[in-house]
Amino acid sequence: MTVREALKIAINELKEANIGTYGNDAVILLKTILNKSDVFVLTNSDYKLNQEQEHYLFKLLEKRKKRYPIAYITHKKEFYGFEFFVDERVLIPRPETELLIEEAINIAKDNNIDTIVDIGTGSGCIAIVLSKLLNKRVFASDISREALTVARLNRDKHTAKVDFVLSNGLEWIGKRVDLIVSNPPYVSEKDYENLSDDVKYEPKGALIAEEDGLSFIKHLITHAQGLTRYLILEFGYDQSQFIKSQRNLLKISKDLSGIDRVAVFRFS
């Protein structure tokens, strides 16, 4: 089978399975199988797949048709211009979380920020990007041992100055820091049921929080006071009212869809 034939099969099968991104996905699957670039796939139509590669194509097509995330297939996700390794042990970094990075950089620039902590680090994307861009050591924690294994892999890949701690919430922080950032789990049980099938492959513990998705956010806001000068957190599409009712709120930023998404708190 040639690349041309393989692309045709992949596009047809993905289209039939109602995968909206069928064209893009077909190219990504092919380049993953061949371990080549997009340009190679698009310019070498007559290149022949060997038998092993053909089997691999059908295996990946079956997965993608069941909406298995493309990032878990390629094991790659770009976040703020950095490429991260991802698999089922961690949440796939989201573009809206880049807003949290921007707010953290703004606060760090103007406020003499030295010690930075990332709570619920997952793949390590926030901690690693902040450490690289601000040239600071960052401390990052997660309750999932498996997530921390992936985060360490990404830390080493980017030679970032990040130390990881296995812990629940803020309980490990012994002395006052300058900035705590977090993209916590904030989806309610009810909303989780209505999420797309792709998301259901991601760790449930990275997404769902009790009390209508607010339990972890409440923990962060309540306990951050006394532990940090600034707290920056991401929150859900319907949680803005709760965030606005909290003391010490400095600002809220909207994501590209115009939804309130990131809150900055300043504690005296």
Ligand X SMILES: C[S@@+](CC[C@H](N)C(=O)[O-])C[C@H]1O[C@@H](n2cnc3c(N)ncnc32)[C@H](O)[C@@H]1O
Backbone angles phi, psi at 113, to 5 degrees: -85, 125
The stretch near ligand X (CB under 6 A) out of 5-13, 140-148, 154-162, 235-243 is 140-148
The stretch near ligand X (CB under 6 A) out of 5-13, 59-67, 137-145, 241-249 is 137-145
CB nearer to ligand X: pick between 7 and 99: 99
What span, in angstroms and rounded, lies between the C-alpha atoms of 149 and 122?
Answer: 9
Min CB(110)–ligand X separation in Å: 23
Min CB(82)–ligand X separation in Å: 12
Distances (CA, A) of 210 to 180, 188, 205, 247: 22, 7, 11, 22
Of these, 1, 17, 133, 143, which contacts ligand X (CB under 6 A)?
143
CB nearer to ligand X: pick between 41 and 214: 214
CB nearer to ligand X: pick between 136 and 219: 219
Pick the closest to residue 71 from 118, 113, 28, 26 (CA basis): 28
Burial 50-87 (b: 16+ CB within 10 A, else e): eeeebebbeebbebbeebbbbbbbeeebebbebebbbe
What span, in angstroms and rounded, lies between the C-alpha atoms of 214 and 119?
Answer: 15
Per-position x/- string for 81-120, each x denoting binding to ligand X as judged by CB under 6 A, each - no binding: ----------x-x---x---------------------xx
For residues 166-225, which are near ligand X according to CB under 6 A? 168-169, 183-185, 205-206
Min CB(8)–ligand X separation in Å: 35
Min CB(119)–ligand X separation in Å: 6
What span, in angstroms and rounded, lies between the C-alpha atoms of 164 and 145?
Answer: 10
3-state DSSP call for residue 262? strand
Residue holding tokens 């990275």?
206
Pick the closest to residue 195 from 176, 214, 208 (CA basis): 208
121 binds ligand X (CB under 6 A): yes
The stretch near ligand X (CB under 6 A) out of 26-34, 64-72, 121-129, 252-260 is 121-129
Q: Are 215 and 186 in contact (CB under 8 A)?
A: no
Of these, 123, 131, 188, 239, which contacts ligand X (CB under 6 A)?
123
69 binds ligand X (CB under 6 A): no
Min CB(64)–ligand X separation in Å: 22
27 binds ligand X (CB under 6 A): no
Give me the DSSP letters along 119-181.
ES-TTSHHHHHHHHHHT--EEEEES-HHHHHHHHHHHHHTT--EEEEE-STTTT--S-EEEEE
Where do contacts with ligand X occur on this chain (CB under 6 A)? 91, 93, 97, 119-123, 125-126, 141-144, 147, 168-169, 183-185, 205-206
